[in-house]
Amino acid sequence: MDYENIYIEEENNIATITINRPKKLNALNRRTIDELHTAFKELDEDKETKAIIITGSGEKAFVAGADISEFAHFSVEEAWQLAAEGQKLLFDLVENLPTPVIAAVNGFALGGGLELAMSCHFRIASENAKMGLPEVSLGVIPGYGGTQRLPQLIGKGRAMEMIMTAGMVDAEKALDFGLVNYVVPQEELLPLCNKIVSRISNNSSVAIKYAINAVNAGFKYDVNGYAAEIDAFGNCFGTNDFKEGTSAFLEKRKADFPGS
C-alpha cells in the first residue's frame, strides 16, 4: 500500500508510525485505519522490528477523534459495520500485536484517538496532552473499544464519569488516573519513548510476545488468565531465546537473543 495519511521511520530496530493529517488534527478516517492496519501487520512480520511507537504529526494532536464527516449520515447497519470492522482491523489488532506498541500522545487524544492510544500496550504523554471520550455529546457512544478499555485502565467510576460528561482530562490527571505512564515536555516525548523501547528491544522478543498474550488474557471474560500464564511460561522453555537467556546469565555475559 502507498501510504497517504501516515509515514514510517525505522532506526535501531524501532519503528515510529506518524499519523499525518495535520489539517484534520490527525483524525481517523477509513483510509487511515486501513493504512495503520497494513503498517502494523508488516512491521510485526519484520523480524528486525523489536518495538513500535505511534504518534501524531505536529504539536496539537495525537488523534483528535474519528472523521465525523465520514459517518454522520450512516444507517444503523452501516454504523454497526463501522465499529465491528474498525475494532477488528486496528484496535484489537494493536492490543494483541506480539510486537510492543507504545503511544506517544503528543496533544489531543479524543474519541477514536484515545481509543487508539488505549489499545497500545502503554502510553506516554506530553505536557499539553488532553484526553477524553466526547461521543455522548454527539448522541453516540465510543465504538472502538472505549467503553471496555477505559474502565480497565482507570476503574469503572472514573471511566463512567469521563464517558458520561464527555469531558477531557489533562496530562497530569491522566497520569494520576494511570491512563499514561509518564508525562514530559513535548520535546522530550519521543526521546523518552525511544529510550524505553530501546530497553524493551534488548530483551527476548519471544518472551515479550508471550507476556503480552498472558497479560491480555486476564482482561478477557472467557479466558483464565492464570492458565494462560502457565501455558506461556511453559512454552518459553522450548524456545531458543530461553536457552540463550539462561546460558548468558550463567556465563555472566549479555544475552544475544535469536528471536525464536
Residue 23 within a domain: yes
Is residue 60 domain-shared with residue 100, that is, in the same domain?
A: yes
Cell of 118: 488505549
Q: Is 188 a catalytic residue?
A: no
* Amino acid of residue 223: V
The residue range of the domain holding 215 is 205-250
Is residue 58 domain-shared with residue 124, that is, in the same domain?
A: yes
Is residue 146 domain-shared with residue 218, that is, in the same domain?
A: no
> Rounded mean pLDDT of 179-190?
98
Q: What is the pTM of this model?
A: 0.96
pLDDT at 50: 96
- The DSSP bridge partners found for residue 182 are 124
Domain count across the chain: 2
Q: What tens digit of pLDDT does each residue of 56-89 get? A: 999 999 999 988 888 889 999 999 999 999 999 9
Is residue 10 domain-shared with residue 114, that is, in the same domain?
A: yes
Is residue 196 domain-shared with residue 81, that is, in the same domain?
A: yes
Give the three-class secondary structure for 238.
coil
| pLDDT bucket at 155, cuts 50 / 70 / 90 | very high
Sign of the C-alpha dihedral computed for residues 11, 180, 40 and 260 taken in this order: positive
Is residue 174 domain-shared with residue 71, that is, in the same domain?
A: yes
Is residue 159 domain-shared with residue 219, that is, in the same domain?
A: no
Residue 50 within a domain: yes
Residue 81 neighbours by CB distance under 10 Å: 12
Report the mean per-residue pLDDT for the chain. Answer: 96
Residue 259 within a domain: no
> Rounded mean pLDDT of 222-249?
96
pLDDT at 194: 97
| pLDDT bucket at 221, cuts 50 / 70 / 90 | confident
Catalytic residue, chosen from 115, 127, 172, 229, is 115
Q: What tens digit of pLDDT does each residue of 16-31 get? A: 999 999 999 999 999 9
Is residue 137 domain-shared with residue 221, that is, in the same domain?
A: no
Catalytic residue, chosen from 135, 187, 229, 244, is 135
Q: What percent of the chain has pLDDT over 70?
A: 100
pLDDT at 186: 97
Q: Is 10 a catalytic residue?
A: no
pLDDT at 167: 96
- Residue 159: which CATH number? 3.90.226.10
DSSP string, 83-147: HHHHIIIIIHHHHT-SS-EEEEE-SEEETHHHHHHHHSSEEEEETT-EEE--GGGGT----SSHH
Q: What tens digit of pLDDT does each residue of 98-151 get? A: 999 999 999 999 999 999 999 999 999 999 999 999 999 999 999 999 999 999
